[in-house]
Amino acid sequence: MLDTVRLRVFLYAAESLNFSEAARQLNLTQPTVSHHIKLLEQDVGVALFERSGPTLRLTEAGRLLLPRARKLLHEMSSTEHLMSSLDSEIAGELRIACSTTTGKYILPQFAARFHQRHPAVNTVILSCTPEHVVPHLLLKEADVGVVNYDACGGDYECQPFFTDHIILIVPANHPFVGRDYIDASELLTTPHIIRESTSGTRRVLLAELGKHEIALEDMNIFLELGNAEAIVKTVEAGFGVSFVSHLAANWALRLGTVIEVPVAGFDLRRKNYMIRRRMGTSHRRIDAFWGFIHHPDNADLLQLAEG
């Protein structure tokens, strides 16, 4: 088995190509560095450096060993860190990039419950547009993201979070109220409020309208808003109808100030995912939250989200 101390000395010597400089960086003497290199060469059975006067170069074996030495020492350090942290408290800041309206409704409750279990973890929920979630993760500005599209694969892994239901809401005095359902063609006859072009709700709605051969241009859209709560308030005030997340409209539905009206043949569901970078090393607070989402104690929050 290769000695990690000798590998560490080799790494410094290989990167500086100077035993004296490696000795300075490691706070060792130059003869000690030379001795460790000699012992490592005996361990592997080949020369790792070519010495020609003051010039030091890696042999082919040395060039092959260098990236492996880096990896071995990194994995050893990560393992030691993980083992030493098992007895310590999970702590630190957890940053979540959220691009979905529904995620913003239930994530604070997940964060609050997670804090009760791990009081030393503070959570920051970053509001952003869907196209900015992955960059936040890439730049390590966020540890976890919530998106309404499947981003699994490559450098990222994801898990299903919940399925959001999008519904048509109308004012309490609207002519559609009291009917079991309306036909898709009737959507053309009433003023609509719609989400902005980057919204997942709008994307799902466009796909469903297309199945019924209805284009957005066919509808009477008089207002575009980038905020679900503002849309619900505008519908509540009697200015039009809109397709929104059930969770976003839940408070107004309970009050009876807006009414859900089914549309025949419409199936508006949007899957939400939790995403994170594939990690070479374990980060306990991220791992803990990743597993916490689908803990049985949180079944009520997921049920609330799915309506």
List, for residues 69-127, the tens digit of each pLDDT value.
Answer: 888 887 776 666 555 554 557 888 899 988 777 677 888 999 999 999 999 888 998 87
Looking at the structure, do residues 276 and 224 belong to the same domain, yes or no?
A: no
Residue keyed to tokens 């053309």: 188
Looking at the structure, do residues 260 and 300 belong to the same domain, yes or no?
A: no
Query: How far apart, in whole angstroms, are the C-alpha atoms of residue 106 and residue 132?
Result: 20
Structure confidence by residue, pLDDT tens digits, 270-299 = 888 899 988 766 678 898 999 999 888 888
Q: Given the DSSP bridges, would you call strands 241-245 and 258-260 parallel, antiparallel or unpaired?
A: unpaired
Give the residue from 28, 58, 85 where a domain finishes.
85
Looking at the structure, do residues 171 and 265 belong to the same domain, yes or no?
A: yes
108 by DSSP, 3-state: which?
Answer: helix
Looking at the structure, do residues 197 and 234 belong to the same domain, yes or no?
A: yes
CB neighbours of 252 closer than 8 A, spacing ≥ 6?
A: 169, 232, 235, 236, 258
Residue 114's pLDDT is 93
Structure confidence by residue, pLDDT tens digits, 208-232 = 999 999 998 999 999 999 888 999 9
Residue 235's pLDDT is 97
Query: How far apart, in whole angstroms, are the C-alpha atoms of residue 108 and residue 129?
Result: 18
Tell me, what amino acid is at 26? L
Q: Are 169 and 260 in contact (CB under 8 A)?
A: yes
Cα 209 from chain centroid?
Answer: 30
What are 244's strand-pairing partners? 167
Q: Are 94 and 122 in contact (CB under 8 A)?
A: yes
Who has greater pLDDT, 280 or 156? 156
How many residues in the chain? 307
Looking at the structure, do residues 187 and 211 belong to the same domain, yes or no?
A: yes
Q: Is the pLDDT of residue 175 over 90?
A: yes
75 by DSSP, 3-state: which?
Answer: helix
Residue 192's pLDDT is 96
Residue 113's pLDDT is 93
Q: Is the pLDDT of residue 131 over 90?
A: no
Query: How far apart, in whole angstroms, are the C-alpha atoms of residue 214 and residue 188?
Result: 9
H/E run at residue 104? helix 101-117
Q: Are 69 and 10 in contact (CB under 8 A)?
A: yes
Q: How many CA atoms lie within 13 A of 150 on its CB side?
A: 5
Q: Is the pLDDT of residue 301 over 90?
A: no
Taking the whole predicted model, whether its pTM rises above 0.75 is answered as no
Domains in the chain: how many in total? 3
Residue 148 belongs to domain spanning: 92-162+270-305
- Whichever domain contains 62, its CATH number is 1.10.10.10
DSSP 172-206: TT-TTTT-S-B-GGGGGGS-EEEE-TT-HHHHHHH
Residue 141's pLDDT is 85
Residue 243's pLDDT is 96
Looking at the structure, do residues 158 and 287 belong to the same domain, yes or no?
A: yes
Looking at the structure, do residues 112 and 142 belong to the same domain, yes or no?
A: yes
Token pair listed for 50? 């070519």
Looking at the structure, do residues 261 and 133 belong to the same domain, yes or no?
A: no
**CA-based nearest residue to 106, from 202, 243, 232, 245:** 245
- Whichever domain contains 289, its CATH number is 3.40.190.10
